[in-house]
Amino acid sequence: DRPAGHAYELDGRHVTDEPGLYLALGEAVNGPGGYFGGCLAALDDCLRGTFGYAAPATLLWRDAATARKHLSQALTPDGQPYDLFGVVLDLLAEGGMHVTLA
């Protein structure tokens, strides 16, 4: 794990769906091909485990508007709409990652 206080940078240009979100988070935290969750529960585990991250940290999320546009009206498996973008931001904050949207 990197030491607490590390700064990460997420390239959000291609975050247009849920798999793309987790791919971008994984690469931001653990480099090319890196893993940092594949669903909300796994992301929560990564924020609290030993997956290359130690809280507190910061994340500069570039081109966040792309993700906001595509993930703010996601659907649950049973078809209910929800704001995946907002849920992920809340989860990251709860895990000790301060996110700056750019």
pLDDT at 36: 96
Residue 53 lies in a domain: yes
Write the CATH number for 70.
Answer: 3.30.370.10
Question: What's the structural domain count of the chain?
Answer: 1
Q: What sign for the dihedral angle of Cα 13, 18, 20, 24?
A: positive
Q: Counting beta carbons within 10 angstroms of the beta carbon of residue 43, is it exposed (0 to 12), middle (13 to 18) or buried (19 or more)? A: buried
pLDDT at 68: 97
Residue 58: give the domain boundaries.
Answer: 7-101
Q: What sign for the dihedral angle of Cα 24, 90, 100, 48?
A: negative
Q: What does pTM read for this prediction? A: 0.93
Residue 1 lies in a domain: no
Phi and psi based region of residue 5 (left: phi greater than 0; alpha: psi -120 to 50; beta: remaining): left
pLDDT at 80: 94
Residues 30, 51 contacting (CB under 8 angstroms): yes
Rounded Cα–Cα distance for residues 99 and 13 (Å): 16
pLDDT at 25: 97
pLDDT at 15: 97
Residue 2 lies in a domain: no
Residue 18 lies in a domain: yes
Q: What is the dihedral of CA 63, 67, 68, 69, to 10 degrees?
A: 100
Order across the sheet with 7-11: list the strands: 7-11, 57-62, 97-101
**pLDDT tens across the length of the chain (102 residues):** 688 899 999 999 999 999 999 999 999 999 999 999 999 999 999 999 878 899 999 999 999 999 999 999 999 889 999 999 999 999 999 999 999 999
